[in-house]
Chain A
Amino acid sequence: MREARRGDREAAAALFRRHWRDAWRAAYAVTGRRALADDVAADAFERAFAALGRFDERRPFRPWLQRIVANRALDLLRAERRLSYEEPLEPADARPDHRGGDRSLLASVADLSLERRVVVVLRYGVGMTPKEIAATLDLPVGTVNSRLSRALEELRESLEVEHVE
C-alpha cells in the first residue's frame, strides 16, 4: 500500500489484482448487469487510485474501495432509473450468468428492489456492519436495519416458493 501511494506502478497493479475480482463481483451483485459492473468497477478503481495519495494507509483498503463501488453503482442505477421514469429501459439480467454455485440465491437478490439489494450486498457480500452501510448510503441505521429485515423476509419467501415448486 505504501509503495502504491508513492506512485509505484507495480505495487499499484498488485493492489488492483488483489481487489479487482471482489470489486467487480460487488458491482455485478448490485447492478445485475455485466456492462454496468465493468463500468462501475473500473470507475471505482480509477477514483480510488486518483485519491490514493490522500488515503490513510492505516485503514483497510477493501472497505474503502467497496464503498466507492457501492456509491458509483447507486449513482449509475439512479441516473438510469430517473432517465427512464422509474422503468429501466433494459431490465437487469434475468438469469445472471454466474458459473457454479446456487443460481437461485443470486437471482433472488437480483429481483430485490435497488434499495434492498444494495444493503444486502453491502451487508453480506462486502461484510459491512449496518452502521457502516448507513454511513456509506447516508441513511439512518434504523432504515438500513429495516431494509435488511424486509429483504431477508422477501428472500426467504422467494426461496421457499422455489423449494416448493
Chain B
Amino acid sequence: MSSELERRLDDLLLEAPEPETDVGERALARALRALELPVVRPRRRLRVVAALVAAALALLALAAGSLAAAGALHVSFGQVREHAGPRTLILPGGTAGIAAVVNGRLSVVTRSGFRLQGLPVSAAALSPHALYVAAGIGTSLVALKPDGRRAWSHPAGGTVVTIAWAPDGLRIAYVVRTARRLVLRTIWGNGTHDAAIDRSVRAVRPSWRADSLAFAYVAAGGRAVVYDVGHRSRSVVPNSPAGVSEVAFAPAGKRLALLDGRTIVVGKTRSRARIRLVGIGWVGGELAFVSRGGQAEPVRIPGPIVSFVASGSTFAAVVGGEEPRVVAGTTGNVATVLALPRGARVEAVAVR
C-alpha cells in the first residue's frame, strides 16, 4: 500500500487546482518590479567612508539632541520635492499590506492587490502579515479577512474611533465613543477577552511597543500614559506635555515619541518645530513628521493627494475622490502613514 501511496503522492501537485490567470499576471508584474530594484553592494572603501560619515552624524545628532533638550534647536522642514506623479503600488519587503480609511470608506491593499474597497467604517487597522483587518462597523468591532469574509464581530457599545493591532497580533487596543465618554479597551486577536482599560481617554490612536507587552495612549487630561499588559498597570509618561495629540512607539526598542502641537518629546529630549505638526510616525529608526496639508519631507505628489508620509525612499499615499485608492508605495519598510487632509483625519497603517 505504501509504495502505491507514494507513487500517487509523486503526482500530488497535479491534483491541485490551477491558479487564476489574473493572479499570475499580477504576480508577474510584482516579480518584474522586484527584478528592477538595484542591488547595492557597497565596496569596502565606500563602507569605511560610510562608517566615518555615520560616526560624524551620530556625534552631530548627539550635539543636536543636547541643543534640542535645552530648547535651542528647532525642527524644520526641507524643500518639498515634486514627484513625477502617482506610481503603481509597490508594497515594501516585509510589509504585507496597507489599510486606509478615506472619507469614512475602507481600502485594504495587500501584496497581491486590492482586497477591500468602499466599506463604510469608522476606523481600521491591519493585523501583522495583513491576515485580518479590524474595523469599526456601526457599534461593533469586526475582524475581516482581506477578501471581505468576516472572522469575528464584537459589540463595542459605541462607535470605534481608533484601533491599534499589537505587533505580535495577539491583542488589539481600541477607543470607543460611548454616549458620555471615550473608553479605551483591549481585546484578544481572536475576538475574546474584551476588557476596559481606561474609561476616560482622548481619541488618539494607541501605539504598541515593539515587544507587544505595553502600549501608549492619551488620557483624558492630555498626558501620555503607558499601559503594561502583563502587569495591568498604568504609568504617566515622564516629561509628557499636557496636550498630546499623537503617541508613537518606535518599531524596535522602547523609544516613545509624543507630539503636542509643535513640541516633540522623545525620552528626555524635547524639540520644538517652527510650524504646527499634525502627525508623527517612525520610519525605521527615524521619526517622520507630517504638517497640516500633508506636506512631509521629502516627497510630494501633485494632484488630489490627501494623505502621505515620507522619509527617505519610504512612503505611501492615498488620494481622495469618489473612490478612495492607494496610488503609491515604496521599496522600503513603511512603518506608519499619517496625514490630515483639510482638517479630516486620514490614517493608514502598514504592517512591518
Contact = CB atoms under 8 A, between A and B. Distances in A.
Interface in B131-158: 131-132, 143, 145-147, 149, 151-152
Interface in A1-58: 4, 7, 9, 12-13, 16-17, 20-22, 24-26, 28-29, 34-35, 37-39, 41-43, 45-50, 52-54
A35 B147 contact: yes
Contact of A84 (B110, B112, B189): B189
Interface hub of B28, B110, B170 (most chain A Cβ within 10 A): B28
B15 A101 contact: yes
Interface string B15-41: 111111001101110111111110100
Given A9-B35, A50-B93, A79-B169, A124 B10 contact: yes
Given A12-B32, A16-B31, A21-B18, A83 B13 contact: no
Contacts, number: 167
A160 to B, nearest CB: 8
Nearest to B2: A152
Given A50-B37, A89-B151, A16 B28 contact: yes
B209 to A, nearest CB: 18
A7 B35 contact: yes
B9 A97 contact: no
A125 interface: yes
Interface of A is mostly: helix
B111 interface: yes
Interface string B170-201: 10000000000000000011100000000000
Contacts of A82: 168-170
A80 B2 contact: no
Given A52-B35, A99-B18, A20 B27 contact: yes
- Chain B interface size range: 35 or more
Given A20-B28, A28-B16, A79 B9 contact: no
Contacts of A99: 17-18
Contact of B128 (A83, A90, A120): A83
Contacts of B46: none
Contacts of A54: 39
Contacts of A135: none
A12 B33 CA distance: 11
Contact of A120 (B9, B27, B127): B9
A96 interface: yes
Nearest to A157: B1
B44 interface: no
- Chain A interface size range: 35 or more
Interface of B: 1-2, 5-6, 8-20, 23-24, 26-28, 30-37, 39, 93, 110-112, 127-129, 131-132, 143, 145-147, 149, 151-152, 168-170, 188-190
Interface of A: 4, 7, 9, 12-13, 16-17, 20-22, 24-26, 28-29, 34-35, 37-39, 41-43, 45-50, 52-54, 75-76, 79-80, 82-85, 87, 89-90, 96-103, 105-106, 109, 120-121, 123-127, 152, 155-156, 159-160
Given A42-B30, A50-B37, A127-B10, 6 more contacts: A13-B28, A46-B33, A85-B190, A89-B145, A106-B15, A121-B13
7 contacts: A12-B32, A38-B112, A43-B111, A76-B131, A85-B190, A98-B17, A152-B6
